[in-house]
Structure 1
């Protein structure tokens, strides 16, 4: 058996993308799986300073923040780069956001149980 080296692992192009048709927005967006550090950062938004409790804001803006974190351009760069843009994204169609989030969660292996755990349920 041959094991992978650190160089081979770090050099692997392992992030998955999927193009999602969003008729409410009049076109297609590219949704990318979250890299591990980005998922950690995303989930940390919901955790209290004690590392165990859920922040008071709970899951407010969850869909918009997830969509903003995973919608990328053709080069894999995030389209929405600021909290203000993510907040504005939250004002868009819930149906469109959910369609994007469903793909983002599937690609990033984020389950409903993960979301419930973040919510403290």
Structure 2
């Protein structure tokens, strides 16, 4: 027999995945938290201009990786670590391989597939090579795209963090 959930059960579920990611280039480990539905909506809205059309490719890729990382990097208490445009710009200057490692986890935990990323960035030929959009969306509410949601989501629920 199927066990159907109530609205209360759904709303009370602790379903945002968290994963610890070793980043030796930065001298330690960071904590990445998947986006909520609202955070992902806000992140994706950053790829649309005031005219409701997709931003040009160069603007969509500007600070792309740093925006995703900033949207999903949290401290031990689960608070966003990077909130300002200046911090995102500084984060974009960090080692690309290290930043990509964080982005890959953020995308997976947030359910963003490669196809989602390509649609957002207007880059269907290759993976994103820049950063994010031109505007300065509130990164405390703005998360990331790229990998696909996978089996790691179930094993990395907030109570079960993995170390790599």
TM-score w.r.t. the length of structure 2 is 0.69
Report the more deviating stretch, 91-100 or 79-88.
79-88
Flag structure 2 segments of 5+ consecutive residues without an equivalent: 124-164
* Aligned mates of 1:27, 1:53 — CA distance in 2: 37
Report the CA distance between 1:2 and its aligned residue: 4.2
Paired residues of 1:19 and 1:28 also in contact (CA < 8 A): yes
Flag structure 1 segments of 5+ consecutive residues without an equivalent: none
Report the more deviating stretch, 74-83 or 95-104.
74-83
| Cα RMSD after superposing both structures | 1.4
* Aligned mates of 1:50, 1:68 — CA distance in 2: 26
Paired residues of 1:64 and 1:89 also in contact (CA < 8 A): yes
Question: 1:116 is matched with which residue?
Answer: 118
Report the CA distance between 1:53 and its aligned residue: 2.2
* Aligned mates of 2:21, 2:8 — CA distance in 1: 32
Question: 1:67 is matched with which residue?
Answer: 69
* Aligned mates of 1:89, 1:81 — CA distance in 2: 11
Question: 1:100 is matched with which residue?
Answer: 102
Question: 2:14 is matched with which residue?
Answer: 13
Paired residues of 1:20 and 1:28 also in contact (CA < 8 A): yes
Identify the structure with bigger relative contact order (alpha carbons < 8 Å, sequence gap 6+): 2
- Aligned pair count? 121
* Aligned mates of 1:99, 1:8 — CA distance in 2: 34
Question: 1:43 is matched with which residue?
Answer: 44
Report the CA distance between 1:26 and its aligned residue: 0.1
